[in-house]
Structure 1
Amino acid sequence: MADEAGSDSKKGKKKISYTGAWAEAKKIVWDARWRLALGSILLLVSRLAGMVLPASTKYIGDEVLGKGRYELLTYIAMAIGIATLIQASTSFALSQILGVAAQRAITEMRKRVQTHIERLPITYFDSTQSGQLISRIMNDAEGIRNLVGTGLGQILGSLVTATISIGVLFYLNWQLTLATLAVIAVFGGVLLYALKLLRPIFRERGEITAEVTGRLGESLGGIRIVKAYTAEKREELSFARGAHRLFRNVAKSVTGVSAINSFASLVIGAVAVAMIIIGGNAIQQQTMTLGDFLMYISFTFLLALPVVELAAIGTQVTEALAGLDRIREVMAMPTETEEDAKRNPLPEPNGDIEFEKVEFEYEKDVPVLKGISFISEAGTTTALVGSSGSGKSTILSLVLNFIQPTNGVIRIDGKDLQTIRLRDYRRHLGVVLQDNFLFDGTILENIRFSNPEASFEDVKQVCRIANADEFIEKFMNVGSVPPVSAMYPSSLVRIKL
């Protein structure tokens, strides 16, 4: 008996709105607000400690070298050593606090997406590869670490460092600082434009990865079919095409990121040229001391470092938002649980099933079932006989409410199936599908899957009803169905039947 399957509909390209991703990002950050607040305090302490070294250059230049006060070297060295110790300690604590927050956010997001996907209608799974869904759950959520982890901490730290550095630079030489900021402003505009261009590329990468993973999962899952029809070469070419699409996307993004980093290097070079020309003239005209100039150089590099960091982190955050875009698409789909909230509860059913003029079509105007009417009373056996493709499996899917009729009514104990809560209804169903699926585990675990709390007597009874008791006894190589404890230790029972 062959299962009928509807053809996959191709989704057209559509313009994506990123407001949902930003809203999700804000929610993630808000949920981790206390850890982020503590991290921000440690971050401020770390960055302030990191400024002791560049600030000391003024005293080394003016006091030690300029005035010969070499006794200050000991105190300056002690101050630098203590500041370095504080910076190292706070940086480690910061990575631990924000790192844990990031992993918690990733775990919670994965749980939310998995829970939502598990409750989507069967029709969604029929048209979506399982590998794509796994990619949504596992890969797309990974980018969150750049929102609440070290990525966000680096952004905040870079802003703090840049702000303080600009203040110090203005104090030392406001003309030179204006020139420096003009160059950095140009870089900022170019960076924002580049990130806007990179975001669709990162989003496309996630889609390509999901497609390649999905196809690979199908190929490995159906390896017997692949080998039976000697289709290894065909699958090899299919994977190669996907892998090369992914390579071209990655190459494009690498080119974009490299261009940003190269432009950042040009900015640093331009700042250095301006600093040498303007700063050198200031020393010559005695408007700046040697210590001031050394301190200006140190704080200029302290300002340039955050610029480079922001360029790198910006691409990471952009990639994270692209992943959230894809997650939001899935989370926006209505689940069966949401639909159940509008339906009526089902008390203990009797089990009568009635089809009244039921029609169904997978594709519009291509009917699979036409005017099907029958009654299957509780306690009786109803056999559906027909050629392959006649609709037997479709009728079973309708009974399970995996799909809904195009026309007509299906009744359970006289009640329209579409008005009954699916969870209440399916709790009373037992089904053996044409293509059986066994989870990795013991025989006992698979038999108990629908009811993990079932007693061992119930398990034995089910085995007898399914005529599986003799087979299991022979498989276990014992005289009778073994006790529960004996069904776990043997390595044999972990072999899928």
Structure 2
Amino acid sequence: MARKPKHVPETTKHLDRFKYTQDQAIEKPFNWAQMTRLLRYVKPYWKKLLPISIIAMLIATIVRLIVPILIGRVAIDVAIADGNTNLLIQLVVGIAIMYLLSYIANMLRIKYVNILGQNVIYDLREHLFSHVQKLSHKFFDNRSAGSILVRIMNDINSLQELFTNGIINLLMDIVMLTGIIVILFALSPKLALAILVIMPLMFYISTKLRRNIRRSWQDVRIQQSKLNSHLNESLQGVRITQSFSQERENSEYFDGVNSENFEAWNVATRKSAMFRPFVEMSNAIGTVILVAYGAFLILQGDITSGTFVTFAFFIGMFWEPISRLGQMYNQLLMAMAASERIFEFLDEKPNVKELENAKEIKDMKGNIKFDNVQFAYDEKRIALHDINLEMKQGETVALVGHTGSGKSTIANLISRFYDPTKGSVKIDGVDLKDATIDSVRQQISVVLQDTFIFSGTIMENIRFGRPDASDEEVIEAAKVVGADEFIQRLNSGYETEVEERGSILSAGERQLLSFARALLADPRILILDEATASIDTETEMKIQEALGLLLEGRTAIIIAHRLSTIREADTIYVLENGRILEYGSHSELMEKKGEYFELVKAQFQMLDAI
């Protein structure tokens, strides 16, 4: 029974979950250039695996083409007609041997094409994942994690059948069809022409359906992307959903998205299913023509009974590859829809581009200079206006201001997650646009408010900052930032397994791990972006004790709303709407009684009120 699709309820339509998901049907003509690009992934395995598969396929196909001729033209027209028992026995033994050879060939073909297909899928997924990791932050700003996940998993999985069976089966069916047509015309051009007269009609109808079916499979991919996006978001936000008792509304929303995915699959499979009835109808018409016209030709003496039997064998065999080609065509359409989406990501270029002659910044000192920097996330949203500031080696600089004032944007430009729209950002006198990205980021550590803990052990999470660090170095880094105390209380200490995002740890404990990770990396520049915002007062006191050691000898940029964490900064920059209002030390700014003074005053008044 078909389900009636449910639409997203009005109560949850304001949760526009997919406004950043740029998954739209890609209107491109079906072209072999794209298929050629896809087949490049087969190239590394061409010499090792493909020849064996093709030779095995040819052996099996040739056997299937020879057997009907032997049965019709030799067994019936010669052996049976002449009563030659010895020839008949020889034919039976010969055909049995050929079928055994065909069995072995098919076994080898299946084995090697599967090895080939799995290697190609592995390489393609590896390439896509590696490429996505190198893309700029702007790419991820406009897409949900779920939509990216669909491309790397579902879309590449859609190509698996194409590479494991599709390509070799396509070659096999083409060879089979070509062989059958040649043999049929060699045996009787009249009968062959009469049977194949309906072929142009079949190709015409299939061509008409092509665009429609292809668009349907693209729609399926889009709906799957939405479904995965919602699932990813719902699972990560399940605590918020439960805390606001929104389970029912969330389920209704999921039901709407799931129903749209269900309907998209129904439409696509329904259209794709139209091919097989056409093939069966063509088979029936061909059989009718064979019986009627073939019998007439036998009576006329134009063909023998053996030729008629051979035709009957080949007609049955003829529509089988035609049917598979129809299915293969649907598979090819699915693969094209998936590959278009994969190549769309692979064609994405990082907004932060590295020059061919980019230089490495070795032994970074940590002198930072912003020279008339302007930055805009888009045309309507200018985040920084003509910023000029200087941070000297070993200095601690604080950036304060209201939300949206441009603090985090400055940090992102220093790490070169973005490039300035105008002006330049320099480290040790080198414009970051002229430097290699790795040489910059390897010497900068960023600690965020919402630190990310990977699934794995505590030891592995801290070592993420420097993979070659010893266990002793990891433990020492944890001790310095005050994380060792809570780690030792865990059941397995440093070998305690934490799930994705560190759900078994408190916010303060996760932040302490991120500090240990940053310290272990031994960066020349350290950026603390609201790093103490999620930490309780007791934990903050532990951090403050370790902060002196953590910042020693490093250029540090501290972004904080808690002004108590930045009092000791060498220079404090106060920002508002992407502009620097004032700067100086804590005491200098307090004496000016400007914007910073008002921020401190407002914060103390708030504390007094509490």
Normalising by the smaller structure, the TM-score range is 0.7 to 0.9
Choose which of 48, 51, 67 in structure 1 pairs with 2:65.
51
Q: Does the CA-based 8 Å contact 1:52-1:80 persist in structure 2?
A: no
Letter of the structure 2 residue corresponding to residue 175 of structure 1: K
Structure 1: how far apart are the matches of 2:422 and 2:352?
23
2:46 aligned with 1:39: no
Choose which of 415, 431, 438 in structure 2 pairs with 1:400.
415
Partner of 2:104: 89
Q: What do the CA deviations read for 1:459-484 (whole angstroms, capped 9, x no partner)?
A: 2332233221222223358xxxx7xx
Higher relative contact order (CA 8 A, sep 6+): 1
Q: Tell me, which stretches of 5 or more residues in structure 1 are unaligned?
A: 1-6
Structure 1: how far apart are the matches of 2:171 and 2:188?
26
Structure 2: how far apart are the matches of 1:149 and 1:366?
48
2:210 aligned with 1:195: yes
1:373-452 matched pairs, under 5 angstroms: 373-452=388-467
2:360 aligned with 1:348: no
1:80-229 matched pairs, under 5 angstroms: 80-229=95-244
Tell me the CA shift for residue 363 of structure 1: 4.4
Partner of 2:342: 327
Partner of 1:22: 35
Q: Which moved more, 1:327-336 or 1:267-276?
A: 327-336
Q: Does the CA-based 8 Å contact 1:169-1:300 persist in structure 2?
A: no
Tell me the CA shift for residue 92 of structure 1: 0.7
Q: What do the CA deviations read for 1:177-224 (whole angstroms, capped 9, x no partner)?
A: 012222123223333343343223223322322232122112211222
SS at match of 1:374: strand
Letter of the structure 1 residue corresponding to residue 174 of structure 2: L
Higher strand share: 2
SS at match of 1:438: coil
Q: Tell me, which stretches of 5 or more residues in structure 2 are unaligned?
A: 1-18, 506-610
Q: Does the CA-based 8 Å contact 1:101-1:149 persist in structure 2?
A: yes
Tell me the CA shift for residue 115 of structure 1: 0.9
Residue 492 and residue 386 in structure 1: after superposition, are their counterparts in 2 closer, same or farther (change >3 A)? closer
Higher helix share: 1
Partner of 1:261: 276
Count of residues in Structure 1 that have an aligned counterpart in Structure 2: 482
Tell me the CA shift for residue 267 of structure 1: 0.8
Tell me the CA shift for residue 162 of structure 1: 1.6
Q: What do the CA deviations read for 1:86-115 (whole angstroms, capped 9, x no partner)?
A: 111100100111111111111111111111
Structure 2: how far apart are the matches of 1:420 and 1:235?
47
Residue 307 and residue 326 in structure 1: after superposition, are their counterparts in 2 closer, same or farther (change >3 A)? same
Tell me the CA shift for residue 14 of structure 1: 6.3
SS at match of 1:149: helix
Tell me the CA shift for residue 426 of structure 1: 0.7
Structure 2: how far apart are the matches of 1:369 and 1:94?
61
Structure 1: how far apart are the matches of 2:265 and 2:27?
22
What percent identity do the matched residue pairs reach?
A: 26
Q: What do the CA deviations read for 1:44-102 (whole angstroms, capped 9, x no partner)?
A: 11111223442343244334554444554433321222121111110010011111111
Tell me the CA shift for residue 337 of structure 1: 8.3
SS at match of 1:401: coil
Structure 2: how far apart are the matches of 1:371 and 1:416?
17
Over alpha carbons, which structure has the higher Rg?
A: 2
Tell me the CA shift for residue 9 of structure 1: 8.6
Partner of 1:311: 326
Residue 306 and residue 96 in structure 1: after superposition, are their counterparts in 2 closer, same or farther (change >3 A)? same
Tell me the CA shift for residue 383 of structure 1: 2.7
1:222-371 matched pairs, under 5 angstroms: 222-335=237-350, 339-371=354-386
Partner of 1:4: none
TM-score (norm 2): 0.73
SS at match of 1:271: helix
Q: What do the CA deviations read for 1:14-43 (whole angstroms, capped 9, x no partner)?
A: 643555523313423444433323322211
Tell me the CA shift for residue 349 of structure 1: 1.4
SS at match of 2:451: coil
Letter of the structure 1 residue corresponding to residue 37 of structure 2: E
Residue 195 and residue 129 in structure 1: after superposition, are their counterparts in 2 closer, same or farther (change >3 A)? same
Structure 2: how far apart are the matches of 1:383 and 1:461?
27
Letter of the structure 1 residue corresponding to residue 433 of structure 2: Q
